[in-house]
Amino acid sequence: DIVMTQSPDSLAVSLGERATINCKSSQTVFFNSKNKNSLAWYQQKPGQPPKLLIYWASTRESGVPDRFSGSGSGTDFILTISSLQAEDVAVYYCQQYYDTPFTFGPGTKVDIK
Amino acid sequence: EVQLVESGGTLVKPGESLRVSCAASGFTFRNTWMTWVRQAPGKGLEWVGRIKSRKDGETRNYAAPAIGRFTISRDDSRNMVYLQMNSLRTEDTALYYCATGGPEGSYLDHWGQGTLVIVSS
C-alpha cells in the first residue's frame, strides 16, 4: 500500500497569513499515461463530511476559493492557503488515488493564532 | 443535485454482522464507481473500498482491514450501494461514508453525511 504522511500535525496561523501543509507519498503517484499526479486534498470541518478542494495535485474544485492552491509532483506535495480566513479552520487531508487502496494522509489541523 | 444518504448504522456486538446502505440520486448511478470511506471517532479518514460500474465489470477493491470480512455491492435498479460487514471488531467502530466523484472512483467530490456503526459488547 502507498503510505501517505503529512506535516505538520497541526499549525496555527494568524488571520491573513499563509498556511502551508506538506504531504508525502511512499512512492510516486505520477501517472505517466495521464501526465498527472493522482493526489487530492480535502477539508473537513467538525461534524461535516470531507470537502474536495484540489485534485490532480493542483486543479481547484469548482467553487473553492482561489486562496487554496496545490503544488508538487511525484512524491512531494503542498497545499497552500495564501491568506487564512476564519472559515478555513479545519483538518486537511491528502489522498492518493494512484493505486488501490486509495490511502489518506493522517490529517493536519489548522487553527487561528 | 447529487445526494448520497447512508443508513443502517447501529450498535452491534463483536463478531456480529451488519449491512449499511447508501441511496444515491442526482446522477447516472449505473455508470458511476462508488466508494466507502470510514472515520473512527476523533480519527482520520480511512478508505474502505470501491465498486466499479457494471459496464466496467463491477470489480471491487478493498483496503486490508476489509478484505475477507466486508463486501461492497450495488443495485443499479434502486440506485443503492451497500457495505456488508461480517465478523465485526471493536476497531470497526466508525462513521461510514459513501462517496463518489472523479473518474474511476478516484478523487471524491460528493459525500454523504455518514452512518455510525458502533461495535461494542
Which chain B residues are Cβ-neighbours of A44 within 8 angstroms? 45
Residues 6+ apart with CB under 8 A from A58: A37, A69, A70, A71, A72
- B105 with A95: CB under 8 angstroms? no
- Facing A102 at nearest CB: one of B44, B47, B111: B47
- pLDDT single digits (tens) A28-81: 999 999 899 999 999 999 999 999 999 999 999 999 999 999 999 999 999 999
- A88 with A81: CB under 8 angstroms? yes
* pLDDT score at B21: 98
The residue of chain B nearest to residue A47, with distances taken between CA atoms, is B113
Is any Cβ of chain B less than 8 angstroms from the Cβ of A31? Answer: no
Q: SS3 for chain A, per residue? A: CCCEEEECCEEEECCCCCEEEEEEECCCCEECCCCEECEEEEEECCCCCCEEEEECCCEECCCCCCCEEEEEECCEEEEEECCCCHHHCEEEEEEECCCCCCCECCCEEEEEC
Check whether B119 has a pLDDT greater than 80. yes
* Cα B42 from Cα B111, distance rounded (Å): 18
Q: How many residues does chain B have?
A: 121
Taking an 8 Å cut-off on Cβ atoms, the answer to whether A104 and B111 are in contact is: no
- pLDDT single digits (tens) B44-93: 999 999 999 999 999 999 999 999 999 999 999 999 999 999 999 999 99
